[in-house]
């Protein structure tokens, strides 16, 4: 429980910092990591705040984060941090961005906290202890028929080399479901799967700091999260498919091209 409490405390503090910060006035103040991928002083400030809280609470632990330390570590206690998932949304004032923190011991996800910053909603999960939104225990959707399913996605925006593959999968999912949504923050997309708001989710490539906390949320809510090859998603940068067990199997068949 200490890891979950610490992750939650750090995420809540970072979310409060982000809410109180003034958004950069325009693109001249946006830092570029690469084309269409932005970073701001607010990302960096939130990450520094999180690091201070986590390392004070667990001296000697390590942190994986895009700005602090992007090298994946698996030995011992490791924190996987995205201080502002959905930076582009934040910059435009679109209210769908989050702080995401997970704790792993020897590569096994143990605790997770995701804070929906604009709504100040706190999602939490502990391995073997369930997933929660506030005081409400989460469970994945019971819908198993794709005709009634709402599916989340993330489309390629940095590397467009696989856009035709994505378009093929998008067409197959769109033709068989009640809708597809792309809001732009994977941590919240996975939280939506855990909460039963989405029946499934897929994206061609995500970094581990995008997925670690959300992965534990989904699993503790009774769902499944794997790579496109069907192997359990761990601490890795990979393609991701998630959902309740039935919808995960259906969606995996499509993104692995077994459904053709």
**Quick one: 115 and 215 in the same domain?**
no
Examine the domain organization and report whether 121 and 198 are in the same domain. no
The 10 Å CB-count burial string (b at 16+, else e) for 99-136 is: bbbbbbbeeebbbbbbbbbbeebbbbbbbeeebbbeee
Residues (pLDDT < 50) of the chain are: 33-38, 260
State residue 177's pLDDT score: 98
CATH of the domain at 110: 3.30.540.10
Question: Would you call 127 helix, strand, or coil by DSSP?
Answer: coil
Same domain, 173 and 250: yes
In a domain, 260, yes or no: no
Shared-domain flag, residues 20 and 87 = yes
Q: Are strands 130-133 and 179-181 parallel, antiparallel or unpaired?
A: unpaired
Q: Which pTM value belongs to this model?
A: 0.93
Q: For residue 78, what pLDDT is reported?
A: 97
Residue appearing with tokens 């992965």: 215
140-188 pLDDT per residue, tens: 999 999 999 999 999 887 778 889 999 999 999 999 999 999 999 999 9
Model pLDDT for residues 184-203, shown as the tens digit of each residue: 999 999 999 999 999 999 99
- Residue ending a domain, choose from 102, 137, 172: 137
Cβ(131)–Cβ(124) below 8 Å: yes
pLDDT at 28: 57
Under a CB-based contact definition with an 8 Å cutoff, are residues 63 and 69 in contact? yes
**44, part of any domain:** yes
Q: What is the three-class DSSP state of 166?
A: helix
| C-beta separation of 6 from 54 below 8 A | yes
CATH number at residue 150: 3.40.190.80
Q: Are both 107 and 18 inside the same structural domain?
A: yes
pLDDT of residue 36: 41
Strand ranges in 155-197 using DSSP code E only, listed in sequence order: 179-181
Structurally, the chain folds into a number of domains equal to 2
Q: What is the pLDDT of residue 35?
A: 44
Q: Are 78 and 54 contacting, i.e. CB atoms less than 8 angstroms apart?
A: no
What are the phi and psi torsion angles at 93 (to 5°)? 80, 15
Sign (positive or negative) of CA dihedral 157, 202, 229, 67: positive
Q: Quick check: is 87 in a domain? A: yes
Alpha carbons 214 and 183: distance in angstroms, whole number: 15
Of 37, 133, 230, nearest in space to 241 by CA: 230
Range of the domain at 43: 2-137
Q: In terms of domains, do 116 and 151 share one? A: no
């Amino acid at each position: 429980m200490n890891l979950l409490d610490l992750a939650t405390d750090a995420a809540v503090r970072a979310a409060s910092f982000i809410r109180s910060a003034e958004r950069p006035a325009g693109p001249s103040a946006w830092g570029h990591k690469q084309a269409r991928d932005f970073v701001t002083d607010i990302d960096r400030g939130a990450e520094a705040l999180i690091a201070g809280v986590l390392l004070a609470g667990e001296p000697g632990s390590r942190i994986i984060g895009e700005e602090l330390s992007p090298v994946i570590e698996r030995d011992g206690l490791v924190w996987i941090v995205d201080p502002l998932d959905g930076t582009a949304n934040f910059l435009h004032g679109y209210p769908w961005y989050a702080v995401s923190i997970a704790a792993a011991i020897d590569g096994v996800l143990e605790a997770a906290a995701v804070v929906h910053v604009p709504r100040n909603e706190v999602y939490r999960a502990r391995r073997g202890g369930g997933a929660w939104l506030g005081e409400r225990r989460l469970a994945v959707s019971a819908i198993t028929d794709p005709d009634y399913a709402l599916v989340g996605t993330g489309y390629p925006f940095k590397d467009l080399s696989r856009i035709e593959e994505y378009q093929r999968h998008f067409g197959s999912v769109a033709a068989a479901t009640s809708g597809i949504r792309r809001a732009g923050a994977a941590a919240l997309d996975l939280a939506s799967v855990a909460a039963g708001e989405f029946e499934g989710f897929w994206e061609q490539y995500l970094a581990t700091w995008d997925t670690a906390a959300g992965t534990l949320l989904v699993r503790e809510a009774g769902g499944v999260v794997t790579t496109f090859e069907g192997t359990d998603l761990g601490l890795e940068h990979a393609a991701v498919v998630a959902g309740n067990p039935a919808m995960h199997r259906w969606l995996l068949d499509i993104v692995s091209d077994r459904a053709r």
